[in-house]
Amino acid sequence: MKLLDLYAKMKGDLNQIEQELVRSVTDDHVLLGEASLHLLKAGGKRIRPIIVLLAGKFGDYRLEVMKRVAVPLELIHMASLVHDDVIDDAETRRGQLTVKSKWDNRIAMYTGDFIHGKALTIAAELPNPQIHQILSNALVQMCVGEMEQIRDFFNTEQSIRNYLLRIRRKTALLIAISCQLGAVAANTDRKTANRLYRYGYNVGMAFQIRDDLLDLYGTEKQIGKPPGSDMRQGNITLPVLLALKDAETREPLLNEISSIRESGGKRDTSRAIEMIRKSDGGEQADQLANRYIKKALHALEGLPNITAKKNLMDIAHFVGKRNY
């Protein structure tokens, strides 16, 4: 099943999530509402909401409850994108102007804070304290991940372990708790919630590695921004770190990265991208992403054989092969 087929099958529930997202960011303050809607209408895969809904299928599925988990998680993701674009000085996202480009950095930062606040307001409607504990811990960890990324800008000596810990905090954790909180809100047993958390964590790790690969191997049409954007911003990702381990590639690639840094990210990255593509860094990164997908599928094995399980397997396969 293609991802679009899954979305079509869940169209009714997803439409309600989308309507709730629009309603939640529509505000009396015109500028904050306009900036938030600009980001929302730029689109997105809505992976986190759909995972929340599917996880809820393993328990007492009630859309009114699921909405109060799915919408805040997507809003938190959106807020992180607004803040990322300020930090990365990104001009476009998904082929559209970023909030900071259309307005300015100050408007973008307040918009991100506003969206965060809306997320917490909606989540507060749920009485289960476990949900709030999981959500608040994830927010703290995401902030730590962002700070670690800033600390490691243009750090070509960082370890693979540090990279993996950073993407765990920045990306994988939010996908993991999307599964976990969907299960908790539907009152599943702890073992089921834990299995779904492990599934989401491994899918999230693979998702970010694939994202980093697409930045170097994709086209601007595919990824909605110029290839090599991560490198220009100083974000040294897994394929780059692995390429730097190649004896022939290391020195010339280090020189290119140094030149990019000295130019303030203005230097063309095509030569650096060519070096990385000629190394086996991309292949090794792809292999690691595939191992995470296998772990995600393994986490699902003990769950009941319902349609939602098959849908989660389909999402894992999509993430492992995605090219946009």
Q: Divide the 324 residues of the chain into consecutive groups of 10 and give the mean pLDDT of each group.
A: 77 91 85 87 84 97 95 93 81 80 89 91 92 93 90 94 94 96 96 97 97 91 83 94 95 96 91 95 96 97 94 93 74
- Residues with Cβ within 8 Å of 297's Cβ and at least 6 positions away in sequence, in order, are 199, 313, 316
Contact by Cβ (8 Å): 114, 176: no
Contact by Cβ (8 Å): 181, 135: yes
Angle at alpha carbon of residue 137, lines to 125 and 314, rounded to 5°: 80
Give CB contacts under 8 A, 24+ apart, made by 301-309: 302/191, 302/195, 303/58, 303/192, 303/195, 303/196, 304/58, 306/57, 306/58, 307/57, 308/54, 308/55, 308/57, 308/58
Looking at residue 10, its pLDDT comes to 87
Q: Quote the CA–CA distance of 164 and 57 in Å, as a whole number.
A: 30
Looking at residue 137, its pLDDT comes to 92
Question: Which residues partner with 92 through β-bridges?
Answer: 97
Angle at alpha carbon of residue 30, lines to 33 and 66, rounded to 5°: 25
Looking at residue 289, its pLDDT comes to 97
Looking at residue 301, its pLDDT comes to 95
Looking at residue 324, its pLDDT comes to 65
Distances from the Cα of 256 to the Cα of 69, 152, 232, 277, 279, angstroms: 44, 17, 11, 14, 15
DSSP summary character for residue 171: I
The residue type found at 237 is T
Contact by Cβ (8 Å): 99, 108: yes
Closest CA to 314 of 299, 297, 290, 302: 297
In what helix (H) or strand (E) does residue 96 lie, and over which residues does it extend?
strand 96-97
Taking residue 57's Cβ as centre, other Cβ atoms within 10 Å add up to 21
Q: Quote the CA–CA distance of 154 and 111 in Å, as a whole number.
A: 28
Q: What structural domains and CATH numbers belong to the chain?
A: 3-321 (1.10.600.10)
Looking at residue 217, its pLDDT comes to 93
Q: Give helix 63-88 / helix 105-123 axis angle, nearest 10°.
A: 160
- The reported pTM is 0.92
Looking at residue 45, its pLDDT comes to 79
Closest CA to 207 of 231, 169, 239, 172: 172
